[in-house]
Amino acid sequence: MTSFQKAADVDPKLPEIHLAMSLIYLQQKKYDEALAEIERELSLVPDSQAALATRAKIAAAKPASAP
């Protein structure tokens, strides 16, 4: 993850870096972090089918918040 973070720090507009970080966070069950990264990716590439699919995976995996 450190390498991805360094790359994002150097060039936050680097395509697909946020997608990769989101997938890593999703595997680690860090859903809020995953969602934040996928939203960054979608702000750069709004029509990314991979990013949209990943956002749906995050939403499906994230436990519902208690009221």
User: pTM, whole model, 2 decimals?
Assistant: 0.80
Domain boundaries, the chain: 2-61
pLDDT for 66 equals: 46
Q: What is the pLDDT of residue 13?
A: 73
CATH class of 2-61: mainly alpha
* 54-65: b (≥16 Cβ within 10 Å) or e: bbeebeeeeeee
pLDDT 10s digit of each residue in the chain, 67 long? 677 677 667 666 776 889 999 999 999 999 999 999 999 999 999 999 999 999 999 999 998 864 5
12, two tokens: 């936050």
Helix 31-44 × helix 49-61 angle, to 10° = 160
